[in-house]
């Protein structure tokens, strides 16, 4: 069927407008956070889209070094062995699979509230629920979390699901300890690879997916669910073993009620 000239124009304009809006939103987010963070040492957040299915975005300078140190201090004295959860939401400890310590933070802290506001204004964030209690994960030598998902198989059994995740590196004095997404595709072109090598381990074999380096202040954001609320299998990820030093990361999970 022939397409009229006005429809052809619309077909060209719509995707162009969508791209423009995404860039504008990202730029506005960076500008707003530059204003919010005046007086705090560090750079404005910069976003890098690795994947659009699932949505996976790397954020450089999501938190300042001062904010990261504050979060680490808040966690001191609160750590307990990190649990794992069954599909019915029941926790258990399995140190052979997950070896780390977890601390739950007080969301009324003004720094946490500021970071939550920053996350809500993130241009890729879908505000479909509320943040769960903010937690810090502490990984010492040999600390790791093997392949896992952040979503539950049966959302009705637990009353909802984790629709999206921010993982923020707040201490990264370590070797090893990268965050591996085994089912994501590495950058496809040489130019892309060179640009991404600042943030991902480009020395790992291509068939191992993508491993993000633990870099202080930076974050990874990803969406865990499809539009129909089913879990996205390509979000399989792991905290790789720490071989020396210490790594701490903050999780911000958005809970969507079933």
pLDDT category of residue 30 using cuts at 50, 70 and 90: low
Question: What counts of helices (H) and strands (E) characterise the chain?
Answer: 5, 16
> What residue ranges do the domains of the chain occupy?
41-257
- Contacts of residue 247, defined as CB under 8 A and 6 or more positions apart, other chains included, come to 138, 139, 143, 169, 171, 172, 173, 174, 177, 214
> What are the backbone dihedrals phi and psi of residue 48, each rounded to the nearest 5 degrees, phi first?
-135, 115
Assess whether pLDDT exceeds 50 at residue 1.
no
Alpha-carbon distance of 254 to 162, in angstroms, equals 6
* Overall average pLDDT of the 10-19 stretch: 39
- Contacts of residue 18, defined as CB under 8 A and 6 or more positions apart, other chains included, come to none
**Residue linked to tokens 């990984």:** 139
Beta strand 55-60 with 219-223 is: antiparallel
Q: How is residue 62 written in tokens?
A: 């999501």
Q: How is residue 12 written in tokens?
A: 């060209």
Instruction: For 75-100, write each residue's pLDDT tens digit.
Output: 999 999 999 998 788 899 999 999 99
Assess whether pLDDT exceeds 60 at residue 43.
yes
Look up the CATH superfamily of 41-257.
Answer: q2cbj1_9rhob like domain (2.60.120.620)
């Amino acid at each position: 069927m022939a397409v009229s000239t006005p429809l052809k124009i619309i077909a060209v304009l719509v995707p162009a407008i969508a791209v423009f809006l995404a860039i504008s939103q990202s730029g506005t987010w960076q500008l707003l956070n530059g204003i919010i963070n005046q007086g705090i040492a560090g750079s404005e957040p910069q976003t890098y889209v690795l994947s659009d299915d699932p949505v996976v975005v790397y954020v450089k300078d999501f938190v300042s070094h001062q904010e990261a140190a504050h979060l680490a201090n808040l966690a001191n004295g609160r750590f307990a062995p990190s649990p794992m959860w069954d599909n019915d939401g029941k926790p258990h400890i399995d140190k052979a699979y997950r070896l780390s310590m977890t601390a739950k933070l007080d969301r009324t802290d003004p720094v946490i509230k500021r970071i939550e506001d920053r996350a809500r204004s993130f241009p890729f964030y879908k505000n479909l629920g509320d943040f769960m209690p903010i937690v810090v994960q502490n990984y010492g030598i040999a600390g790791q979390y093997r392949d896992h998902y952040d979503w539950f198989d049966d959302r009705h059994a637990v009353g909802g699901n984790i629709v999206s995740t921010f993982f923020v590196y707040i201490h990264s004095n370590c070797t090893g300890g990268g965050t591996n997404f085994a089912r994501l595709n590495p950058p496809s072109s040489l130019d892309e690879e060179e640009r991404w090598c600042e943030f991902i381990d480009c020395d790992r074999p291509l068939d191992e997916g993508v491993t993000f380096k633990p870099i202080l202040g930076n974050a990874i954001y990803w969406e865990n669910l499809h539009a129909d609320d089913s879990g996205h299998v390509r979000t399989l990820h792991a905290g790789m073993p720490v071989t020396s030093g210490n790594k701490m990361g903050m999780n911000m999970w958005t809970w969507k009620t079933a």
